[in-house]
């Protein structure tokens, strides 16, 4: 498990231990990765983050069109593994969690401990202002730095 911000580590480690999730990705609403567990290639992380952020944006817009409040979570059930996508509020803004899990656990367990992780993240998040939006000229440098931190190379 690797995280860009150290205060994310403990809540995420607890979640991983309790939920038995295979893959987990925490990212901002725009798809910027904050922490990952289980991914071995940076390309996979980038793709998953972009797709996850896009799906959440789509479902939130769908909810708005239906006159509903935001969907809490989206779960794709599969034969071998399933995927849960959930957006949540943090003191650092709106984040998204993408969790892939297998039959060794259940969606109920994953949801239960994911909700606990969200509460823990809200409790331990530093109160300083979030970083300013990333500028286009810094994008590649920031991206490479993030990937290096997330994969250690």
Partner 1 sequence: MTATQTALDRVTRVAGVRGALVVDAADGLVVAEQLMDGVDGQAAAALAGSLVGRLVRTAESAGLRPPAFVHLRGDAGSVLAAPGPDELVLVAVVGPDANLGLARLEMIGAAGRLA
| Residues engaged in binding partner 1 (CB under 8 A) | 105-109, 111-112, 115
In the complex with partner 1, which residue's Cβ is closer, 1 or 107?
Answer: 107
In the complex with partner 1, which residue's Cβ is closer, 47 or 106?
Answer: 106
Give every CB contact of residue 33 below 8 A, 6+ residues apart in sequence: 4, 25, 26, 27, 45, 46, 49, 146, 150
d(CA 67, CA 52): 22
In the complex with partner 1, which residue's Cβ is closer, 112 or 145?
Answer: 112
Q: In the chain, at which residue ranges do the beta strands (DSSP E only) sit? A: 2-3, 23-28, 33-37, 73-76, 82-90, 93-101
Q: What is the nearest approach in angstroms of partner 1 to the Cβ of residue 51?
A: 24
Q: What is the nearest approach in angstroms of partner 1 to the Cβ of residue 22?
A: 16
């Amino acid at each position: 498990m690797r995280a860009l911000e150290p205060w994310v580590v403990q809540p995420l480690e607890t979640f991983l231990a309790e939920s038995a999730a295979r893959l987990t990705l925490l990212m901002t609403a725009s798809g910027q990765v904050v922490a990952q567990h289980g991914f071995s290639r940076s390309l996979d992380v980038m793709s998953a983050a972009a797709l996850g952020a896009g799906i959440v944006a789509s479902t939130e817009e769908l909810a708005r069109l239906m006159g509903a409040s935001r969907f809490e979570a989206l779960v794709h059930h599969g034969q071998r593994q399933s995927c849960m996508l959930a957006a949540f509020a943090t003191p650092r803004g709106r984040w998204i969690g993408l969790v892939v899990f297998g039959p060794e656990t259940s969606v109920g367990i994953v949801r239960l401990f994911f909700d606990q992780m969200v509460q823990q993240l809200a409790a331990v998040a530093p109160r300083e202002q979030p970083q300013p939006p990333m500028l286009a000229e810094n994008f590649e440098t920031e991206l490479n730095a993030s990937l290096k931190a997330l994969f250690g190379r």
